[in-house]
Amino acid sequence: MHEYSLAQSLLNSLLDYLRAHPVPGRVKKVHVKKGELLILSEWALKEAWRILAEGTELSGSELVLESVPVRARCDSCGYEGNVRYLAEEGWHMSVPVLSCPRCGSPVRIMEGRDLAIVGLTVEEPTIKSPSD
């Protein structure tokens, strides 16, 4: 299950980051960019996160996934940007075409095949009033 190892490496890097840059409250949401070329089950990734985060300071946090389109670069003509997509009726997804939309040469993928943490939603620390 590669979702499990992806969740583990995201978790490890975030825990490292939080050790160096502590946040003032509990992390509620972890916002993650998911490249379109990375095929995974979002459900399995979130479930793996939930299990792996248990017992760490990220316990109870939720992954929020945002899909980002493929960006490519062509060495032949210098094109840089989005790629074209193949989509046919009945398909559940469109498939990125990895050749240059301008000249047809193979392109290099700049973005679109990994996961990256882009932000955190942190709960404000609760201020206890003396009358509680």
Piece of the chain touching Zn ion by CB under 5 A; list 5-13, 14-22, 23-31, 72-80 = 72-80
Q: How far is the CB of 78 from Zn ion (least distance, A)?
A: 7
Q: Give yes or no for a contact between 110 and 99, defined as CB atoms under 8 angstroms apart.
A: no
d(CA 36, CA 70): 6
Q: Is 102 in the site for Zn ion (CB under 5 A)?
A: yes
Cβ neighbours for 86, distance < 8 A, ≥ 6 positions apart: 94, 95, 96, 97
Q: How far are the Cα atoms of 12, 54, 76, 131 from residue 37, in angstroms, in the given order? A: 23, 29, 22, 54
Which CB atom, from 45 or from 83, has the smaller least distance to Zn ion?
83
Which of 103, 110, 116, 118 forms a contact with Zn ion (CB under 5 A)? 103
Q: How far is Cα 89 from Cα 83, in angstroms, rounded to an integer?
A: 20
Q: Which stretch binds Zn ion (CB under 5 A): 34-42, 43-51, 55-63, 78-86?
A: 78-86
Considering only the stretches 30-38, 42-50, 61-69, 102-110, report the one whose residues sit in contact with Zn ion under the rule CB under 5 A.
102-110
Residues in contact with Zn ion by the rule CB under 5 A? 74, 76-77, 79, 100, 102-103, 105
